[in-house]
């Protein structure tokens, strides 16, 4: 009986200590990385470093802005040497027709490591500066590679919410 009580107390203490550790996140507030913070429809912080960032995706240039000097993605051979920007878009096409509300956090696979936000998913490939289009299109070869988040852009959600008709 003594051992059962001791075992239960040990489990309770271990579980309680584990919860305390999980609620802390060493990364900065993700809202600070939004180009236009008002375009975020909802933002919720979960346990640890989990977040929920609900945004509308509509255009090719909505997405995550990155830089080549802070990514595991190899430099494309045709990259413009004067531009170091890289982007993970929300669409496959320049004027995408897929308007949808998405959770940017899970859509792009945000992770926090050593106080830095990274993305690890590239559902529509990458975009980069070159003499042509600089678009790779959807590919799985980049998934799992970390890229440091510089900023992100959500399309203005107010365009999709019906306003109350005027009398």
How many distinct structural domains can be found in the chain?
1
Q: What is the mean pLDDT of residues 79-89?
A: 80
Confidence of residue 106 (pLDDT cuts 50, 70, 90): very high
Closest C-alpha among 104, 109, 70, 71 to residue 90: 104
pTM of the model: 0.72
The phi and psi torsions of 60 (rounded to 5 degrees) equal -60, -35
| Dist. CA 117–CA 111, nearest whole Å | 6
Q: Read off the pLDDT of residues 27-50 as tens digits, 9 standing for 90 and up.
A: 998 888 887 766 777 888 889 999
Whether the predicted pLDDT of 163 surpasses 70: no
| Residue 119 belongs to a domain | yes
| Residue 2 belongs to a domain | no
CA dihedral 149, 33, 85, 143 (to 10 degrees): 30
Q: Read off the pLDDT of residues 108-149 as tens digits, 9 standing for 90 and up.
A: 999 999 999 999 998 888 888 776 666 666 678 889 999 999
Q: What is the mean pLDDT of residues 83-107?
A: 74
pLDDT value of position 23: 57
pLDDT value of position 113: 93
| Residue 75 belongs to a domain | yes
| Residue 103 belongs to a domain | yes
Whether the predicted pLDDT of 14 surpasses 90: no
| Residue 163 belongs to a domain | no
More confident residue, 68 or 113: 113
Q: How far apart are the first and last CA of the chain?
A: 74
- Structural domain boundaries, residue 128: 25-158
Q: What is the mean pLDDT of residues 141-160?
A: 81
Whether the predicted pLDDT of 81 surpasses 60: yes
| Residue 41 belongs to a domain | yes
Residue 129's alpha-carbon distances to 23, 53, 60, 98, in angstroms, are 39, 27, 14, 24
Confidence of residue 65 (pLDDT cuts 50, 70, 90): confident
């Amino acid at each position: 009986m003594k051992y059962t009580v001791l075992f239960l107390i040990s489990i309770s203490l271990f579980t309680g200590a584990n919860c305390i550790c999980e609620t802390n996140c060493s990364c900065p507030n993700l809202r600070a990385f939004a180009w236009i913070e008002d375009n975020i429809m909802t933002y919720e912080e979960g346990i640890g470093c989990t977040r929920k960032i609900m945004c509308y995706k509509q255009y090719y240039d909505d997405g995550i802005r990155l830089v080549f000097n802070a990514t595991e993605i190899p430099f494309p051979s045709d990259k413009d040497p004067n531009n170091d920007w890289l982007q993970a878009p929300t669409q496959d096409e320049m004027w995408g027709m897929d308007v949808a509300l998405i959770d940017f956090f899970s859509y792009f696979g945000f992770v926090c490591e050593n106080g830095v936000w990274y993305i690890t998913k590239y559902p529509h490939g990458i975009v980069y500066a070159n003499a042509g289009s600089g678009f790779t299109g959807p590919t799985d070869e980049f998934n799992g590679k970390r890229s440091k988040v510089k900023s992100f852009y959500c399309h203005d959600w107010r365009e999709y919410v019906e306003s109350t008709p005027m009398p």
